Chains A and B, each alone.
Chain A
Amino acid sequence: MNKQIHQLTVTELLHGLEDKLFSSVDIVKHYLDRINKYNPELNIFLHINENALKQAQQADQEIAKGTKKLLLGIPLAIKDNFLTVGMPTTAGSLVLENYYPQYESTVTKKLLEAGAIFLGKTNMDAWAHGSSTETSQYGPTLNPWDLGRLPGGSSGGSAAAVSAQLAPAAIGSETAGSIRQPAAWCGVTGFKPSYGRVSRYGVIAMASSTDSPGPIARTVEDAALITSIIAGQDSYDGTSLSKEVEKYHELLKKKDLKGIRIALVKEYLLPTMRTEVKTLIHAAAAHLESLGAKVEEISLMDPKYAVGVYTVIQRSEVSSNLARFDGIRYGNDRNLFGEEAKRRIMLGTYTLSAGYYDAYYKKAIAIRTKIVEEFEQTFREFDVIIGAVSPGPAMKLGATQNEPMFGEMEDVLVEPSSLAGLTSAGVPCGFVDNLPIGLQITGNQFEESKILDIANLYQKTTDFNKFPKQYDK
Chain B
Amino acid sequence: MTQTNITTDDVAKIAQLASLTVSEEEKQLFAGQFSTTIDVINQLNEVDTKGTPPTSSVTKLENVTRSDIIDTDRVLPQAVALSGAKNVHQGFFVVKQILKKDNE
A307-B40, A329-B85, A335-B21 known; A239+B61 contact, CB < 8 A: yes
The residue among B36, B57, B71, B93 with the most chain A CB atoms within 10 A of its own CB is B57
Q: Which residues of A contact B36 (CB under 8 A)?
A: 404-405
Closest CB-CB distance, A133 to chain B, in whole Å? 20
Partner of A319, one of B6, B18, B45: B18
For A312, the closest partner residue in chain B by CB is B41
Partner of B84, one of A100, A372, A408, A419: A100
CA distance A347 to B6 in the complex (A): 11
Determine whether A363 belongs to the interface, using a CB cutoff of 8 Å to chain B. Answer: yes
DSSP majority for the A interface? helix
A346-B18, A349-B18 known; A331+B84 contact, CB < 8 A: yes
* Interface residue ranges, B against A (CB under 8 Å): 6, 10-11, 14-15, 17-22, 26, 30, 33-34, 36-37, 40-47, 49, 52-59, 61, 64, 66, 71, 74, 76, 80-81, 83-87, 93-96
Q: Which residues of A contact B71 (CB under 8 A)?
A: 235
Within 8 A of B (CB), among A186-245: 195-196, 209, 235-236, 238-239, 241
Closest CB-CB distance, A404 to chain B, in whole Å? 4
Determine whether A138 belongs to the interface, using a CB cutoff of 8 Å to chain B. Answer: no
Is there an interface contact between B83 and A346, defined as CB atoms closer than 8 Å? no
Determine whether A308 belongs to the interface, using a CB cutoff of 8 Å to chain B. Answer: yes
Is there an interface contact between A209 and B57, defined as CB atoms closer than 8 Å? yes
Determine whether A278 belongs to the interface, using a CB cutoff of 8 Å to chain B. Answer: no
Is there an interface contact between A362 and B54, defined as CB atoms closer than 8 Å? yes
**A196-B61, A346-B34 known; 10 other A-B pairs, CB under 8 Å?**
A196-B59, A239-B59, A241-B59, A241-B61, A326-B19, A342-B30, A347-B37, A370-B47, A370-B49, A372-B55
Is there an interface contact between A102 and B84, defined as CB atoms closer than 8 Å? yes
6 tightest Cβ-Cβ pairs between the two chains A and B? A330-B84, A421-B58, A366-B49, A238-B64, A365-B54, A404-B33
* Interface residue ranges, A against B (CB under 8 Å): 99-100, 102-103, 195-196, 209, 235-236, 238-239, 241, 301, 304-305, 307-309, 311-312, 319, 323, 326-331, 334-335, 337, 339, 342-343, 345-347, 349-351, 353, 360, 362-370, 372, 404-405, 408, 419-421, 445
Q: Which residues of B contact A366 (CB under 8 A)?
A: 49, 52-55
Q: Which residues of B contact A304 (CB under 8 A)?
A: 43
A366-B54, A420-B58 known; A405+B37 contact, CB < 8 A: yes
In the assembled complex, 19 residue pairs joining A and B whose CB atoms fall closer than 8 Å, in A order, are: A235-B66, A311-B40, A319-B18, A328-B93, A330-B84, A342-B30, A343-B30, A346-B22, A360-B41, A363-B44, A364-B44, A365-B56, A366-B52, A367-B47, A369-B49, A369-B52, A370-B47, A404-B36, A421-B59
Partner of B93, one of A329, A342, A370: A329
Is there an interface contact between B58 and A305, defined as CB atoms closer than 8 Å? no
CA distance A338 to B50 in the complex (A): 39
Is there an interface contact between B47 and A345, defined as CB atoms closer than 8 Å? no
Is there an interface contact between B22 and A342, defined as CB atoms closer than 8 Å? yes
Partner of A236, one of B10, B49, B74: B74
Q: Which residues of A contact B19 (CB under 8 A)?
A: 323, 326, 334
Q: Which residues of A contact B80 (CB under 8 A)?
A: 102
Is there an interface contact between B20 and A342, defined as CB atoms closer than 8 Å? yes
Q: Which residues of A contact B53 (CB under 8 A)?
A: 366, 369
Partner of A347, one of B34, B44, B49: B34
